[in-house]
Structure 1
Amino acid sequence: MFWQLEYQPNDPEDSHCCLVFLTAIPNPEEAISTQFWSDRANVEASLFMKTSSYNKSYIMTTHDYSIRGKSWGKSFEKMKNYAPVTIGVTFVNSDLELKGYNSVLTTRPETKDITEAWSRQLDVPENSDVLFNVKDGVVYASKSILSERSEYFSGFFKGRWAEISKHNVELGSTDTTIEHIIIDVPDISKVVFLEMLRYIYTDEVRFNLVPSVEIFRVADKYLLTKLRQKARVEIFKRLTNKNAMSVLFNEAWKWNDLKDDIINFIVDNFQEMKDTPEYKKLAAEYKGHPAGIEIFQEILDRLLDKQILK
């Protein structure tokens, strides 16, 4: 379990104060979880700042740490003189191991060169033997890589469900005849499908380029469990009081685990969300949605369980 102590010299809300944060460095299990990090909740911690004439500490509530809230802190009064100041964290009820690091902590080693090399092999006609006809174009890939990295595609190719065709591919100034397995994917755009294949090739995904809900949908379709969970966490991280209801009613209601994540978010933030135009609009129109009545009943049941409506 890794923690990082951070200092910010200026509090944006009070120029007379500074900020000290206790940041959780997520382990691989925490990084793919949409729940609060229960192991962290068992750790008692307090932040402190002291000088020869000043000593202040605050107890931290470590049960609030999650992928949406990895850093929590407190505001301390700035010292008016130039005396040495000590900031720190005290852990209670915890086995503490001290280590020094010369770089930013990460949960995986850097493999940039390898990743880029594999990424360059994607969508290259002359290096490919599979052609996907997607909604708005074509995408090339390698059967051997897809089979090795995906159980879905491994089973697909063994079952011989795809058409095999020879066709001309323009390579520079010449046309070359290459044999490809042809697979029709009419319901997925090229940019989304390429990003899914990029994950298969490199184990990385760029959520800044493609909506996380679209990645979740394609990962679910092609049984890419790890990618699906990454997208689920990314959707959860990006929820706000303004977009949660639309994400739930537009897409998330189709999958129980994603639906549960968003309903829990709505319940946890209900007091702030219920007054937003987005919530009021969907609350007035939910009966026209194929699962609207069921969704609102779940929300109400959980609100009652938490005694928010009592």
Structure 2
Amino acid sequence: MLNGTVRTLSNSAVTMDPVDGFGNRSSFEFELTNVHQLQGKVCSPRFETMPNIFWQLGFVLESPNDPEYCAVYLHAICNMDEVDEYDPSRNDCLPARMYLKRSDGSIIKEMTTSSRFKFKAVKIRRLRMAQFCRRSRLTDNLIIGVRLKSTQLGNHFFRTLSFHEPVPVKPIPGTLISAWKNEFQKPGSGDVKITVQGQTIFASSSILAKRSEYFQRMFNGSWLECNRSINEQHMIEDDTISNDRRDSTDIEIDGTKSSSKMTINRQYQYSVDIPDFDYQTAVQMLLFLYTDQVDINNCPNIWNLYTIANKYLITDLEMEAKLKILEGMSINTAAESLFGNAWKWPDLKKRFLRYVVDNFSQIRNSHGYKTIVANRSKYPMFLELNSEILLSFIPETVES
């Protein structure tokens, strides 16, 4: 949900200036309004440092690492040619100096990225400064900006610079989502057979390995979750099998029906079993790996999505789910989230525990908390968590 707004500043916000040994630098600035009402990640419009080299700034009011801080991101937006690795010219713009400043131009905070950081494999899609600035220092209207080293295109390029449409990013069309879901059900669509709750999903090992370090290690190693080289037969019914295919394939034709049946022998390079997640969650994860987007607002179980992203080392999806979880924290949901799920991850446990303690006078009377107390045997960490909550109200004694 986007309660604040992002506005591109006038063309004068894109400047070139020699400072601090950085050489000529190009500054890109965007205005954030209603900052203290922002929820989740807010992204700037895309901008270019040379033709077909796009970037985007991101801002999160409450850092996933520390809620007392905000986080700032620099995203590398892949072009059609950046499939496995980024264009080396991207790194000619680094290091980057990211900053926040007030509407009057005075700097709130600025930080320069490490000179060792480079955009290489496309799995690394962003550069994040997780604890950029204390939230208490932020004004309600501010400017987010980045200074990058100037490109070889120089002044002429920046005189003709134009910005692209602002985010939020346009949702994936429903037809595209349906198309990919259909592909996941086709035996011929990949070399990986994934089994989830007795159902089968077919996927491409090259895509999974490029998007997830977990899958990359799985396919390159000897993991119990992954069996190699399986032969299977699949029966396909299709009204549209071409004559060419019929000439080269043994097909059984039922004279009473118009459809054709074709048996295909197929060998899968990998067989993966996912026993600890439901089918819909696995499909959502795969859709993100294929499209880099997720319909986070219509996720049937956000905790399952966060858990599967955490397990399979899909950092961007994990972050999206985490922000949605924190956004949904309330008097009515905090206790259930803490006792049911958040305790499994130290950072989330800390945040939810603090929220429950700070609002315990209301939460203790909520339906959610009363249900947990009445069904405490269903919550394996009930005694420990409840003790932590109650002990937080007792002052520590100092031994003399």
Shorter-chain TM-score: what band? Answer: 0.5 to 0.7
**Aligned 8 A contact 1:136 1:189 in 2:** no
2:367 matches 1:277? yes
Partner of 1:293: 383
Q: 2:286 aligns with which of 194, 197, 205?
A: 197
1:62-119 deviation line (CA, Å, top 9, x unaligned):
8599xxxxxxxxxxxxxxxxxxxxxxx996xx6799xxx9997426x65858x94894
Q: 1:258 aligns with which of 334, 343, 348?
A: 348
TM-score (structure 2 length as normaliser): 0.50
Matches of 1:238 and 1:136, distance apart in 2: 32
Partner of 1:179: 267
**Aligned 8 A contact 1:122 1:198 in 2:** no
Partner of 2:228: 163
**Aligned 8 A contact 1:36 1:64 in 2:** no
Matches of 2:326 and 2:143, distance apart in 1: 31
When residues 36 and 189 of structure 1 are mapped into structure 2, their CA distance, relative to the original with a 3 A threshold, is same
Long gaps (5+) in structure 2: 7-32, 44-57, 73-99, 105-134, 146-161, 239-260, 396-400
Matches of 1:183 and 1:209, distance apart in 2: 24
2:209 matches 1:147? yes
When residues 32 and 223 of structure 1 are mapped into structure 2, their CA distance, relative to the original with a 3 A threshold, is farther
1:206-232 deviation line (CA, Å, top 9, x unaligned):
231331001111112212222222212
Partner of 1:68: none
1:270-307 deviation line (CA, Å, top 9, x unaligned):
332222232234356658843223212332455568xx
TM-superposed deviation, 1:179: 1.1
1:26-80 deviation line (CA, Å, top 9, x unaligned):
35351783425558999699xxxxxxxxxxxxxxxx8599xxxxxxxxxxxxxxx
**Structure-to-structure mapping, 1:215-226, within 5 angstroms:** 215-226=305-316
The DSSP-based 3-state class of the residue aligned with 2:283 is helix
Matches of 2:302 and 2:386, distance apart in 1: 24
Q: 2:167 aligns with which of 106, 110, 125?
A: 106
Q: 2:339 aligns with which of 228, 243, 249?
A: 249
Matches of 2:378 and 2:328, distance apart in 1: 26
More helix by share: 1
2:295 matches 1:206? yes
TM-score (structure 1 length as normaliser): 0.63
Matches of 2:342 and 2:202, distance apart in 1: 30
**Aligned 8 A contact 2:372 2:379 in 1:** no
Long gaps (5+) in structure 1: 6-20, 46-61, 66-88, 306-310
The DSSP-based 3-state class of the residue aligned with 1:210 is coil
Partner of 1:132: 194
Structure 1 stretch displaced more, 255-264 or 209-218: 255-264
When residues 167 and 224 of structure 1 are mapped into structure 2, their CA distance, relative to the original with a 3 A threshold, is same
**Aligned 8 A contact 1:131 1:138 in 2:** yes
Matches of 1:300 and 1:151, distance apart in 2: 41
**Aligned 8 A contact 2:233 2:265 in 1:** yes
The DSSP-based 3-state class of the residue aligned with 2:369 is helix
The DSSP-based 3-state class of the residue aligned with 2:266 is strand
Matches of 1:158 and 1:39, distance apart in 2: 34
The DSSP-based 3-state class of the residue aligned with 1:205 is coil
TM-superposed deviation, 1:151: 0.8
